[in-house]
Amino acid sequence: MSYQSLPEAARRRYIAYGLVIDSTLALRGALAATGAAAARAHADIEIRTGAIPADLVVEKQVGPYSWCPGKIIFDMPSVGRYYCDGGRAMTVEPAQGAASRSVEDMLIATALPVLLWMRDQVILHASCLQLPGFPAAIALSGPSGIGKSTLLQQGYLGGARIVGDDTIALHGHEDGVTASGLPGLIQGAGATAVARDRALNEAPLGAVFFLSRTPSLNNLSFSELTGAGALQAMLGQRHRNRVLGLLGKEAAVFKAIAAMVSGPAFRIFTWHKRDGDASLRNEEMAFIEAVLTS
């Protein structure tokens, strides 16, 4: 039975990363499709559960990722296998006894970003929000646990609109760079559902801040990155970047990110914060707003 012939009740239509996605699995953080997106005959991506073909020939393997011509299998023991076919379709084969929440979480955390790389999108490990009164959004990047979601939640409580938490897709075009993600949920300690009118499918990107922690820091500390430093910072936060070697897209992605960094669309900073300081200070907010105004 083809995916399009699945009963309507078995699949749901979402908006995520600026794309229309049909899925039989829940996509936490995605928005329910409405209007023209809901009425479209076909989705950009189709996700279903089922058995992965047994006759696939694996040509290369890097960690949990296996490359078959035009396809990648992501294998997470005790959770499931995720078969990404050509950037448009995914079959998820849950492991026996796996909890549905674990299967869905791994779909969001890893399998869907793999599929997005296959679609030639640039995937950054970052959260993204649009501050009140500013058309351009800011991205907060850095390693897991450094405080991206905490700052995102504080921004939301202060009236910001949410573009995505933890992972965003960047799309460069002649007018600048657009960011998109999963705008409906802020993860972190105690997930926060984002109100529909505060969730953005996509937004122009105005600045990227790479979070850094230091043991002793009392004053406001931002350092602007340009040239090779800015490029290195962006390359260092590519999400699930090991799949790029399997796809043969490392050079193309390097070129795409270099073009974004060299253009005037957004500025890049290191944001130094003291260890244990999770607060968003007034002077920090003032600096960020000044960057967006300049």
What Å distances lie between residue 131 and 64, 68, 128, 224, 293, CA to CA?
A: 38, 43, 10, 20, 12
pTM: 0.92
Q: What is the pLDDT of residue 147?
A: 82
Q: What is the pLDDT of residue 160?
A: 96
Which residues touch 290 (CB under 8 Å, ≥6 apart)?
none
Closest CA to 156 of 165, 145, 146, 168: 165
- Span 91-102, average pLDDT: 96
pLDDT band at 278 (very low <50, low <70, confident <90, very high): confident
What Å distances lie between residue 130 and 177, 182, 200, 274, CA to CA?
A: 14, 14, 9, 24
Q: What is the pLDDT of residue 179?
A: 97
Q: What is the pLDDT of residue 2?
A: 34
- Span 32-61, average pLDDT: 94
Tokens 């351009």, residue?
A: 136
- Span 23-41, average pLDDT: 95
Indicate if the alpha-carbon torsion angle 63, 68, 72, 76 is positive or negative: negative
pLDDT band at 217 (very low <50, low <70, confident <90, very high): low
Q: Are 280 and 150 in contact (CB under 8 A)?
A: no
- Total length of the chain: 294
All domains in the chain, ordered by first residue: 3-118 (no CATH), 122-293 (3.40.50.300)
DSSP code for 5 = G
Share of the chain above pLDDT 70, in %: 95
Q: Are 169 and 15 in contact (CB under 8 A)?
A: no
